[in-house]
Amino acid sequence: MVGTAEGVTHNVYSNGSVQNLNGATEEKLDELRRLVGKAEGDPLRIVGVGAGAWGSVFAAMLQDSYGHLREKVQIRIWRRPGRSVDRATAEHLFEVINSREDVLRRLIRRCAYLKYVEARLGDRILNADEILKDGFCLNMIDTPLCPLKVVTNLQEAVWDADIVVNGLPSTETREVFEEISRYWKERITVPIIISLAKGIEAELEPEPRIITPTQMINRATGVSMENILYLGGPNIASEIYNNEYANARICGAEKWRKPLAKFLRQPHFIVWDNGDLVTHEVMGGLKNVYAIGAGMIAALTNESATSKAVYFAHCTSEMIFITHLLSEDPEKLAGPLLADTYVTLLKGRNAWYGQKLAKGELSLEMGDSIKGKGMIQGVSAVKAFYELLSQSCISVLHPEENKPVAPVELCPILKTLYRILITREFSSQAILQALRDETMNDPRDRIAIAQTHVFYRPSLLGHQP
Which CATH number fits the domain that encloses residue 219?
A: 3.40.50.720
Active-site pick, 38, 72, 198, 287: 287
| Number of structural domains the chain divides into | 3
Confirm whether 308 is a catalytic residue. Answer: no
Query: Is the domain of 58 the same as that of 167?
Result: yes
- pLDDT at residue 414, rounded to an integer: 96
Residue 14 belongs to some domain of the structure: yes
Closest C-alpha among 76, 73, 77, 75 to residue 43: 73
Closest C-alpha among 380, 407, 338 to residue 212: 380
Query: Is the domain of 223 the same as that of 316?
Result: no
Closest C-alpha among 43, 78, 41, 42 to residue 59: 78
pLDDT in tens, the chain (465 residues): 434 333 444 443 333 333 345 678 999 999 999 999 999 999 999 999 999 999 999 999 999 999 999 999 999 999 999 899 999 999 999 999 999 999 999 999 999 999 999 999 999 999 999 999 999 999 999 999 999 999 999 999 999 999 999 999 999 999 999 999 999 998 889 999 999 998 888 888 888 888 999 999 999 999 999 999 999 887 888 889 999 998 899 999 999 999 999 999 999 999 999 888 877 888 888 889 999 999 999 999 999 999 999 999 999 889 888 888 887 777 777 777 778 888 888 888 899 999 999 999 999 999 888 887 888 889 999 999 999 999 988 888 777 777 888 889 989 999 999 999 999 999 999 999 998 877 777 787 777 777 776 677 777 877 655
- pLDDT at residue 447, rounded to an integer: 77
Residue 361 belongs to some domain of the structure: yes
Using one digit for the tens of pLDDT, what is the confidence trace for 335-349? 777 788 888 888 888
Query: Is the domain of 92 the same as that of 234?
Result: no
SS3 annotation, the chain: CECCCCCCCEEECCCCCEEECHHHHHHHHHHHHHHHCCCCCCCEEEEEECCCHHHHHHHHHHHHHHCCCCCCEEEEEECCCCCECCHHHHHHHHHHHHHCHHHHHHHHHCCCHHHHHHHHHCCCCCEHHHHHHCCCCCCCCCCCCCCCCEECCHHHHHCCCCEEEECCCHHHHHHHHHHHHHHCCCCCCCCEEEECCCCCEEECCCCCEEECHHHHHHHHHCCCHHHEEEEECCCCHHHHHCCCCEEEEEECCHHHHHHHHHHHCECCEEEEEECCHHHHHHHHHHHHHHHHHHHHHHHHCCCCHHHHHHHHHHHHHHHHHHHHHHCCCHHHHHHHHHHHHHHHHHHCHHHHHHHHHHHCCCCHHHCCEECCCEECHHHHHHHHHHHHHCCHHHCEECCCCCCEECHHHHCHHHHHHHHHHCCCCCCCHHHHHHHCCCCCCCHHHHHHHHHHCCCCCHHHHCCCC
Residue 450 belongs to some domain of the structure: yes
Q: Last residue of some domain: 211, 244, 275?
A: 275
Query: Is the domain of 75 the same as that of 98?
Result: no
Query: Is the domain of 227 the same as that of 300?
Result: no
User: What are residue 262's phi and psi, to 5 degrees?
Assistant: -65, -40
**Using CB atoms within 10 A of its CB, is residue 186 exposed (0-12), middle (13-18) or buried (19+)?**
exposed
Residue 280 belongs to some domain of the structure: no
Residue 4 belongs to some domain of the structure: no
Classify 360 in phi/psi space as left (phi over 0), alpha (psi -120 to 50) or beta. Answer: left
- pLDDT at residue 231, rounded to an integer: 94
Which CATH number fits the domain that encloses residue 337?
A: 1.10.1040.10
Q: CA angle, 206 as apex, 201 and 208 as ends, to 5°? A: 45
**What domain range includes position 443?**
286-461
Contact 415, 407 (CB under 8 A): no
Residue 222: other Cβ atoms inside 10 A: 11
- pLDDT at residue 461, rounded to an integer: 79
- pLDDT at residue 341, rounded to an integer: 83
- pLDDT at residue 465, rounded to an integer: 53
Contact 180, 156 (CB under 8 A): no
Query: Is the domain of 372 the same as that of 318?
Result: yes
Query: Is the domain of 262 the same as that of 407?
Result: no
Beta partners for 151? 78
Query: Is the domain of 266 the same as that of 364?
Result: no
Cα separation of 129 and 139, whole Å? Answer: 12
Helix axes of 22-36 and 53-66: crossing angle, nearest 10 degrees: 110
Query: Is the domain of 104 the same as that of 73?
Result: no
Rg of the chain taking only CA atoms, in angstroms? 23
- pLDDT at residue 324, rounded to an integer: 83
Query: Is the domain of 393 the same as that of 409?
Result: yes
Residue 138 belongs to some domain of the structure: no
Residue 134 belongs to some domain of the structure: no
Q: Dihedral (C-alpha) 57, 192, 159, 282: value to the nearest 10 degrees?
A: -60
Residue 247 belongs to some domain of the structure: yes
Contact 65, 107 (CB under 8 A): no
